[in-house]
Structure 1
């Protein structure tokens, strides 16, 4: 199973913004109590959706009084439907809307969470700068990596530094930049930092254009699939030939994650 990353969440947010901004929640049915976490004095019914935003892998509904923040985890799906779906498999929450539509949250593994809070910072407190934030620049990345002994993939996975990157897009970005995933972050040097920054931006932009990568459970708000899986260069291609140099793509375990790279295009330089 693959957790939705920045491009998948951005695709969902753009669709939710178009479909739901200005609408009002009129009711809520909870089918799995752990999915919905709210502060005692807050209720979702009667709340107008003023904006739908994103930070890292979080979907943020700015409401008329408070915030509703969603993390899909491994298998969460937010689907906008014209009809209620009370009996559908894996349905955990169902929000009714003044427009007559429904916002349904499906989650096979039950790890996803929806928080209703008066202060979004209580949920996002350990979330770093978003990878698409205008303040995330090449120089910002250079300063973050300075003197870090952590391996570069481990560093990029840590959401408190850069928010939104995950296994798929880190592997793809490191490949495009020609950087081995186990290279110490602080030893990249100016040229490699530049290549990495540019690679991250290009990989994310392309994946968003393709509406994300559907390898398992990720769906758009209409239940559709992304198409970026057809453009991956290393992720999921272990034991296949590199599309650049024909070397066999390797898969190793790094920071507890399956990690894909080309030994020739991404030599380990210590």
Structure 2
């Protein structure tokens, strides 16, 4: 699933490609992608709309249009592909929504698993969408409070990994970056959140900010099919320390990386650097 760095990279790419373009026609080939309104009304309402800008909240993209906000969530494998006006293209079987622009260029929404969703709401109402309202803070110092984060940790009996995957705690973390963050902070994925001491909580807080910022600068991580809006793979995969590194030496201590399951998610860790303890320090 694209996580915050990948979605942010898609957003910045789309800004370069489609900002200020006017939608001449929308073709929906798989209506279930459109959560609201009905597909025919969706297409009708978007005709003539100009893309003013594109924003992001957590893993959601918000296309700010003349009269509407178009909310898009890529889910597992959704992606956007842009085609200039002088390129003739035949949509493949995984292309489910096509935006035709007035200058002849096109933007295709492609989704192998068909899990992605789009919602069209009135202008400036995007942040009121239920899925967005439930999100925790963005993982940047200006919005992500250490004291609030510590309070959430102290009030949770959950293992730390599934807690970090909960978008209500902090927005944008998924399986890849949670593993990376916990390795950097030297915390076991099954450590109960409320047992983290002040030092560990602060280390984890800073690791979240640092890892996601670095991944955004690298254009995200390409695992399987991810490519940004410019058709390019991300570069952060060369920076990964534990994710996908089963049996490879830990970069810190050379102990082989292990893969276990935590809350039904494949989870990578160093058993030496990330020791599990049960009691409060």
TM-score by length of 2: 0.90
1:122 equivalent to 2:124? Answer no
In the alignment, which of 147, 161, 167 is matched to residue 153 of structure 1? 161
In the alignment, which of 50, 57, 60 is matched to residue 52 of structure 2? 50
> Deviations 1:30-83 (Å, cap 9, x if unpaired)?
111111233266611111212211111111111111211111111111112113
For 1:180 and 1:86, the matched residues in 2 are separated by 48
Q: Which residue of 1 aligns with 2:251?
A: 243
Q: Structure 2 matches for 1:98-247, cutoff 5 A?
A: 98-118=102-122, 119-120=125-126, 121-123=128-130, 124-132=132-140, 134-247=142-255
Q: Which residue of 2 aligns with 1:68?
A: 70
Q: Which residue of 2 aligns with 1:5?
A: 3
- Stretch of structure 1 that moved more, 189-198 or 38-47: 38-47
For 2:274 and 2:245, the matched residues in 1 are separated by 15
In the alignment, which of 91, 98, 101 is matched to residue 94 of structure 1? 98
C-alpha displacement of 1:19: 2.3
TM-score by length of 1: 0.94
- Stretch of structure 1 that moved more, 130-139 or 150-159: 130-139
For residue 268 of structure 2, give the secondary structure of its aligned residue in structure 1. strand
Q: Which residue of 1 aligns with 2:15?
A: 17
Q: Is the 1:81–1:222 Cα contact (8 Å) retained in structure 2?
A: no
For 2:57 and 2:208, the matched residues in 1 are separated by 16
For 2:225 and 2:210, the matched residues in 1 are separated by 24
- Unpaired runs of 5+ residues, structure 1, are none
RMSD (Å), alpha carbons: 1.6
Instruction: Give the total of aligned pairs.
Output: 268
- Stretch of structure 1 that moved more, 131-140 or 144-153: 131-140
- Unpaired runs of 5+ residues, structure 2, are none
For 2:155 and 2:112, the matched residues in 1 are separated by 41
Q: Is the 2:180–2:241 Cα contact (8 Å) retained in structure 1?
A: yes
For 1:184 and 1:145, the matched residues in 2 are separated by 9
Q: Is the 2:149–2:169 Cα contact (8 Å) retained in structure 1?
A: no
C-alpha displacement of 1:122: 2.5
For residue 69 of structure 2, give the secondary structure of its aligned residue in structure 1. strand
